[in-house]
Amino acid sequence: MNIVSREFYNRDSIIVAKELLGKFLVHESKGYKLVSRIVETEAYMGVIDKAAHSYGGRRTKRVEVMYGKPGFSYVYLIYGMYNCLNIVANQEGIPHCVLIRGVEPIEGIDIMANNRYNKAYDQLTRSQKIGLTNGPGKLCMALDIDRNHNGLDVCGDELYVQEGDNEAFDVVSAKRIGIDYAEEARDFLWRFYIKDNKYVSVKI
């Protein structure tokens, strides 16, 4: 399958967030290849978005990658322990990004299970299997993504997105998660997920 082009990301983050659904997130490293299908995303709209790290034009060393070219990774730490993977969207200078919130494991599942639980996949409980990648911190742990991957070109050959398999699905729009501080922005329907997929983190 073809790797998604940079032009795909050079658009409004809401459009990119919707259209990333169904595509494959791939991490090739350390002699393995981990493949997952993107099933849940959130759009962040930069300087106008009170939930965004770049709201109001905030520009720090941490968020600088968002002001760069589209199609690069923005990986940050939450709660001092969990990594979150974002992909920079829109043109250079406009700090939009898309948070990858949930993925469905496809290839390299035993490695993902070992990364998360130190067990093979067939040793996991039913809840552990569902909890393998149904959240932004969980999927980064399973796919071995951390802040060392911040600023990677996701149009490259290590951490990248491939075109989907044209499987039909319905898209649900919902409020974003964990942004109660963001005043009116907390109510924007900028979270998108594949309906009825069990790896969606919060089905509301």
**pLDDT on residue 80:** 81
Return the pLDDT at 202.
78
The predicted model scores a pTM of: 0.95
SS (H, E, C) the chain: CCECCHHHHCCCHHHHHHHHCCCEEEEEECCEEEEEEEEEEEEECHHHCCCCCCHHHCCCCCCHHHHCCCCEEEEEEECCCEEEEEEEECCCCCCEEEEEEEEEEEECHHHHHHHHHCCCHHHCCHHHHHCCCCCHHHHHHHCCCCHHHCCCECCCCCEEEECCCCCCCCEEEECCCCCHHHHHHHHCCCEEEECCCCCCCCCC
Q: What is the pLDDT of residue 79?
A: 82
- Tokens linked to 112: 């993902």
24 Cβ contact partners less than 8 Å away, ≥ 6 residues apart: 1, 35, 36, 37, 38, 106, 161, 162, 163, 164
- The confidence score (pLDDT) of residue 154 equals 97
**pLDDT value for 119:** 96
**What confidence score (pLDDT) does residue 203 get?**
66
Look at residue 198 in the predicted model and tell me its pLDDT.
Answer: 94
Domains detected in the chain: 6-194 (3.10.300.10)
d(CA 6, CA 24): 15
Supply the pLDDT for residue 167. 86
What one-letter code names the amino acid at 104? E
% residues pLDDT > 90 (the chain): 89
Cβ-Cβ contacts under 8 Å for 174 (sequence gap 6 or more) = 189, 191, 192, 193, 202, 204
Per-residue tens of pLDDT for the chain, all 204 residues: 699 999 999 999 999 999 999 999 999 988 999 999 999 999 999 999 999 999 999 999 889 999 999 999 999 998 888 999 999 999 999 999 999 999 999 999 999 999 999 999 999 999 999 999 999 999 999 999 999 999 999 999 999 999 988 889 999 999 999 999 999 999 999 999 999 999 998 765
Mean pLDDT of the chain: 95
